[in-house]
Homo-oligomer: A and B are copies of this chain.
Amino acid sequence: MIKYPNGSRVKVDKTIDYGRRGMSLEDDLNATNKYYLESDIAAVYKKPTPIQITKVEYKSRATARITEAYFQTPSTTDYNGVYKNLYIDFEAKETQSKTSLVSSMIHPHQLAHMERVIRYGGIAFVIVRFYSLDETYFVFAAKIINYLRSAQRKSIPHAWFVENGILIPYNYLIKVDYLKVIDQLILEGK
C-alpha cells in the first residue's frame, strides 16, 4: 500500500509487469511464430500435445465431445517448420532455477530425434530460458547431446549455457527472435 499525502491508500498490484516477465516461454514463442508467419518469413508451428482418446460422445453429426482421454509422451520435439530452405526443429525449456537446467527435462527420445534431424540435414536446437535471470539461450542440439552423453549429468549449469549458447535478444515485437541467430549462422557459413 502506498500512502498518499491526502491520506488515501492505493493498492499497488505487484503482479503487473510491463516487460517480458509474466509471459511463459511458450507464449513468447507462439507470439514470435505468429509474427514470423504474418510477416511472411517462416512457417514454424508448435505440435499439438498428443492425446489418446478413449471415449467420444456424438451429440450431433457436427459436434463430438471427448469425455475420456489421456496425455501421451511426445516422440519428437515440440516445434518444427521451414525457413530459407531449411528444416527447423527445436525444443523449448524454461526453468525457475538460477543455477542450472535439470537434464531430465529433455527426454532421451527427444535427443534421439534431434540427432536424426542433424543427420538428415535439418537444423536442430534447444531454446532454454532462465526465467529468474531473464535470459533465453539458443543452443545447438549437437552441443547439448554431446554434453549430456559425455557423462551421466543430472543437470546443465547456467555457466555452460553462457559459454555454449547464444543469448537471444528480447524485443517487444519479436519476443524470442531465434531466426536472427540462424541468419547469423548462415552468414558465417556454418
Contacts and interface: CB of A to CB of B under 8 A. Distances in A.
A9 to B, nearest CB: 39
Contacts of A65: 68-70
A93 interface: no
A51 B52 CA distance: 11
B121 A82 contact: yes
A122 B82 contact: yes
A117 interface: yes
Interface of A: 37, 40, 42-43, 45, 47-51, 53, 63-71, 75-76, 80-89, 113, 116-117, 119-122
A64 B75 contact: no
A73 to B, nearest CB: 12
Nearest to A116: B43
A85 B49 CA distance: 26
Given A43-B120, A65-B68, A69-B66, A80 B80 contact: yes
